[in-house]
């Protein structure tokens, strides 16, 4: 039995779950998310909690059991609290700003890099060097944060680039002269 899959998902106040045979819809104060239920799993809703059970013991159903439980748990947390990723710009002259929901990055290229967030994702800039990516879908928030970071990943000699908050770059030793 999957250790993660057999855990019960507690549903906080203000969050409602609508189950059909093939889909799950989670509604909360931040928004709503839906997802297709795999045919090898079934969901059981009890007072204030949700449990995911396997219909059979096939390898494919055992593989997806824990994953789907984590996805549903992330849907519940996302609709009640939301998810945030914070990025920091390190480097001389590196800055970011928001213009009509479009993120403009000046990170050492000859042109500014423009990023338009997808629906459901909000970008915010604090003091020109901190970018906050927020939304209710953990998958989308992480994907957008990774796409922003991939524009200028931190380089190992000076540590300049776009980093996640709290990320430490292991600096390499430069060339030594004779």
Helix (H, G, I), strand (E, B) or coil at 73: helix
Mean pLDDT for 15-22 is 90
Which of 94, 81, 78, 85 has the alpha carbon at shortest distance from 32?
A: 78
Reply yes or no on whether the pLDDT at 152 is more than 90: yes
Reply yes or no on whether the pLDDT at 1 is more than 60: no
* Mean pLDDT taken over the chain: 92
DSSP secondary structure string, 114-176? EEPPPTTEEEEEETTTEEEEEES-HHHHHHHHHHHHHHSPPPTTT--EEEETT----PPP---
Q: What span, in angstroms and rounded, lies between the C-alpha atoms of 91 and 158?
A: 9
> pLDDT band for position 177 (50/70/90)?
confident
Reply yes or no on whether the pLDDT at 3 is more than 70: yes
Mean pLDDT for 75-93 is 94
Mean pLDDT for 43-71 is 91
> pLDDT band for position 175 (50/70/90)?
confident
Structural domains of the chain, with CATH: 9-80 (3.90.930.12), 83-164 (3.90.930.12)
pTM of this prediction exceeds 0.85: yes
Mean pLDDT for 68-89 is 95
């Amino acid at each position: 039995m999957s250790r993660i899959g057999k855990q019960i998902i507690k549903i906080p106040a203000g969050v409602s779950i609508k189950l059909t045979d093939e889909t799950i819809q989670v509604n909360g104060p931040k928004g709503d998310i839906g997802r297709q239920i795999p045919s090898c799993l079934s969901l059981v809703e009890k007072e204030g909690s949700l449990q995911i059970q396997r219909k059979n013991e096939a390898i494919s159903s055992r593989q997806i059991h824990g994953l789907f439980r984590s996805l549903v748990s992330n849907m519940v947390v996302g609709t009640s609290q939301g998810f945030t990723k914070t990025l920091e710009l390190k480097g001389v002259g590196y800055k970011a700003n928001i213009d009509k929901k479009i993120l403009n990055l000046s990170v050492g290229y000859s042109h500014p890099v423009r990023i338009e967030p997808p629906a459901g994702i909000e970008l915010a800039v604090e003091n020109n060097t901190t970018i906050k990516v927020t939304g209710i879908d953990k998958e989308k928030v992480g994907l957008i944060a990774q796409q922003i970071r991939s524009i200028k990943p931190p380089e190992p000699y000076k540590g300049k680039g776009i980093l996640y908050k709290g990320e430490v770059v292991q600096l390499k030793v430069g060339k030594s002269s004779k």
